[in-house]
Amino acid sequence: MRASTLGPSGGPITLDQTGVETYATIFTLAPSAVDGNVIWAGSDDGMVHVTRDGGKNWQDVTPKDLPPFTRISLIEASPHAAGTAYLAGNRYQRSDRAPYVYKTSDFGKTWTSVVGGLPKDDASIRGLAEFPGRPDVLFAGTERAMFVTHDGGARWTRLRANLPTTIDSMAAIPNPVPADARSLLNGRKYYSINCAVCHGDLGKGDGPIVAKGFPPIPLVGPASPAPGRTDGYIWGMMRNGRGLMPSYNRIEELDRWDVVNYVRGLQGRYAVQTGPVGLPGETGDKLPGYSQTGPTRPSPYYVRAGSQAGPPTASAGQQPDSAARPAADSTGARPDSTTTTPSTAAPRGAAPTQPTMTPNTGGPR
């Protein structure tokens, strides 16, 4: 690992704990089928190590010409020779979509770039495998095509054979979750805290991170490809990551479908409310919008905290005071939600009244 990436991600204030977005993470492990004591390891901050004694000692064998902070996404240990391995890295999150594929035949002492024939500007490698029956025959898959080489990677040829343009096995997965009020509200919660920071509350690609130089990525309108994508494709993007989007492994599988349904609502298919469901510090049936320190998944319990703390007798799981409010996302033509403030000041020492969310019935926009 690089020493510069071993500290808390985000610094001492934000303390980012979002898994794959935290650097200095072992991203791939590849034990050798020829010698069980040989194990290859690649990290998401661009380091490659190998052990030849079952993990007792590790040696840094990072290719010298590999750009810094390349994510080592794949290592393929050759089934034919213990000292031979292939690695694939990607830098698409740094706006670099060039292919990075290397081969070593001497346990990583030297590496050779083997990208001949691969596209230069759109070939982030997603799959890499050496054919067990013949050395130097490899297959590589990108987001758009599959390639084969018969000479250890010196020259790659695209496999056509009636294969679709995009190699995406998840695009055809049907959405198993109905877009009912529960799904749309849950999807709104997850979208508000995980997605709106980039895509914006309305999906127009105008989230606050855009002002800091991040490219706008709209989910709605003619400039966005998202309306033409299948539900399975969008679900797969959240699951595996794609382009500038990281994988959202902190969102559970079925909850991702709720986000897909909510995105379809933003695109006009369903009537949905927009914006955060609650204020920072609220949990339970509410959830704040994007923040540097907020939670990343709705809590199944309702426990007030901080300045919005409830009475000492409140217990986890008690019914929230907003349970009687109209079900969000069930009717109406895409109303916005508004936040009301307490009408009276709470007595000294007492808990303040909890703000509630009420739908704006001003009609269609």
**Who has greater pLDDT, 318 or 104?**
104
Q: How confident is the model at residue 315 (pLDDT cuts 50, 70, 90)?
A: very low
Question: In what order do the strands lie in the sheet containing 138-141?
Answer: 127-130, 138-141, 146-149, 156-159
Per-residue confidence (pLDDT) for residue 133, from 0 to 100: 80
**Averaged pLDDT for residues 244-258:** 74
pTM for this model (two decimals): 0.49
Residues 6+ apart with CB under 8 A from 169: none
Side-chain-side CA neighbours of 208 within 13 Å: the count stands at 8
Q: Which of 155, 158, 161 is closest to 142 using CA atoms?
A: 158
In this predicted structure, what is the pLDDT of residue 317?
A: 36
Measure the CA–CA gap between 41 and 46, rounded to whole angstroms. 11
What b-and-e string marks burial along 27-47, b requiring 16 or more CB atoms within 10 Å of the CB?
Answer: bbebbbeeeeebbbbbbbbbb
* pLDDT score, position 313: 42
Query: For residue 97, which of 142, 31, 148 has the smallest C-alpha distance?
Result: 142
* Domain coordinates in residue numbering, the chain: 3-159, 177-357
Ranking 14-23, 90-99, 218-227, 302-311 by mean pLDDT, the lowest is 302-311
What mean pLDDT is reported for the chain? 74
Q: Is the pLDDT of residue 141 over 60?
A: yes
Question: How do residues 71-127 score in pLDDT, each as one tens digit?
Answer: 998 999 999 999 999 999 998 877 788 899 999 999 999 999 999 989 887 778 888
Mean pLDDT to the nearest integer, 183-201 = 89
Among 4-18, 171-185, 303-317, top mean pLDDT goes to 171-185
Kindly tell me if the per-residue pLDDT of 343 is higher than 80: no
The predicted-structure confidence for 159-188, as pLDDT tens digits, reads as follows 876 665 554 566 778 899 999 999 999 899
Indicate if the alpha-carbon torsion angle 292, 293, 299, 305 is positive or negative.
negative
**Spelled out in words, what is the top-level CATH class assigned to the domain 177-357?**
mainly alpha
Q: Please report the pLDDT score of residue 337 as a whole number.
A: 44
pLDDT of residue 5: 61
Chain length of the chain? 365
Report how many helices (DSSP H) and strands (DSSP E) the chain contains, helices first: 5, 14
DSSP secondary structure code for residue 227 in this structure:
G
Least confident of 38-47, 61-70, 72-81, 131-140: 131-140
Q: Classify domain 3-159 at the CATH class level.
A: mainly beta
User: According to the model, what pLDDT value does residue 82 have?
Assistant: 94
